[in-house]
Structure 1
């Protein structure tokens, strides 16, 4: 049975509550091709069901960077959509079906995303820009009224440009809002670097498991 019909490009914002990660499903209403941005292994079944409900064929699983707080769900999504290709920045040094560079396009049906390198949180952070709907998926480079930490995993506050997480319940923001209201981005460069060097945050709980797995497309080593 055919899923729901749409007259405009398909967009869904989803949340995984353990790591407060935002996952996004984007679809072409004409060809039914779709991409998913920053899927999480714990919510892969939910995402698969939603894609099937909408009669979408998942062609790309995109990660904005090598995550430290959760394991990507791309390897699980591929079981339901065997032709899906995982995507990761070449600068990350990780493994994926397709490694992308700044300026490349990711096509899904009649829709496409532009890849923009936005390092700082990690060397391999990218932002996916959907020009048709004027939306940018920044991963951890930019958060609502904050930005990704830079104190480990190749972080470099001096390289950080500008949401993959949010911890206060606000679902979305805009470039204009963050330029004017983000308490980190409104500082001088000197004060910004000082702030980022003195966050004193605990490392993510899944760091030791997540980073090695995400460098290999979410594959977890079998300890047996």
Structure 2
């Protein structure tokens, strides 16, 4: 099985990707709207196809990426029937199974933080995804969205701490940078729910937290009750890629394939618009690989000092031998305020391998 834990620093939300390598099918738990491109890039690089997104509950601190991922990839939206949301493709109940290839997640109802909280347990009970029901040495609050301390206490003890002691628990959030815990640890060390704490102790604790409501609650909850669909139902425009079909690598680098760039350059209008920036050393510019016709030589070590030579209004493609130095060039260019920047995937090695036009190279 393929497993990845991803993080949103703004809301301290963990997103989880689970994939079956044999079938290529994958699930994403608790996607974040702003990270749709990141998530799709990772799926693409791992050779996986997203079949469904699963939210653990209606979040109050971020907008889910479920609807946007469905728009981009055709994945289904799965959510608790008790959440009361619209737009889901499948409403989940306690005991349901969600399959991906030969693996599956068991759905467990764990209400108390909200009335519609679910946790997801892997088929062999080696790991569970607890959302906000159970955090690392803590738990979700119970003072809004039909929360209930008593209900949460029973949910955690009956559905999560009853799992095998070795089962790894992956929370929906962590604000200290902790990533994973286990049933054994939480049974013993969780100050709210572990040890000899009973339901009365827990209820007294939770009723006196005195926490302010999440800052984005008035935005996030209504949006998440639509499964993340924006008001009006339209997808966001892809401002980064409108000048050419680009792909976002998981590293965060926007890339353009050699064949796509060649097609764009064959059009006279695009040829005049697109800046080709070769960041190799001068001797490489005219070596056996040659360079793309019309490319401007500006070695990477000189880039910071010569930014003024570039047109900030025109799209730019950075080029090097393999795509490594030019990837770093795109980072520097974006930091300098140039937004329409892409890296040539594979550099001149890929360009020559695809037998695309060059100047000064060996035939």
Give the TM bin, normalised by the shorter chain: over 0.9
Match of 2:95 among 103, 118, 131: 103
Match of 1:218 among 228, 246, 259: 228
What is the CA–CA distance in structure 2 between the aligned matches of 1:212 and 1:170, rounded to whole Å? 29
Match of 1:167 in 2: 175
Measured after TM superposition, the shift of residue 57 of structure 1 is 0.5
Match of 1:183 in 2: 191
Measured after TM superposition, the shift of residue 153 of structure 1 is 0.9
| Larger helix fraction of residues | 2
SS at match of 2:131: coil
What is the CA–CA distance in structure 2 between the aligned matches of 1:104 and 1:58, rounded to whole Å? 19
How is 1:1-224 mapped onto 2 (pairs within 5 angstroms)? 9-82=1-74, 84-95=75-86, 96-132=88-124, 134-160=126-152, 161-162=155-156, 163-186=171-194, 187-222=197-232
Structure 1 unaligned residues grouped into runs of 5+:
1-8
Structure 2 unaligned residues grouped into runs of 5+:
157-170, 233-363
What is the CA–CA distance in structure 2 between the aligned matches of 1:25 and 1:133, rounded to whole Å? 17
- Structural RMSD (CA): 1.3
TM-score w.r.t. the length of structure 2 is 0.58
TM-score w.r.t. the length of structure 1 is 0.93
Match of 2:249 in 1: none
**Does the 8 Å CA contact 2:103/2:123 hold for their aligned counterparts?**
no
What is the CA–CA distance in structure 2 between the aligned matches of 1:103 and 1:189, rounded to whole Å? 25
Higher relative contact order (CA closer than 8 Å, sequence separation 6+)? 1
Measured after TM superposition, the shift of residue 78 of structure 1 is 1.5
What is the CA–CA distance in structure 2 between the aligned matches of 1:60 and 1:123, rounded to whole Å? 22
SS at match of 1:137: strand
Measured after TM superposition, the shift of residue 131 of structure 1 is 2.5
Moved over 2 A (4+): none
Match of 1:4 in 2: none
Greater Cα offset, 72-81 or 122-131: 72-81
Match of 1:6 in 2: none
What is the CA–CA distance in structure 2 between the aligned matches of 1:15 and 1:148, rounded to whole Å? 18
What is the CA–CA distance in structure 1 between the aligned matches of 2:227 and 2:76, rounded to whole Å? 10
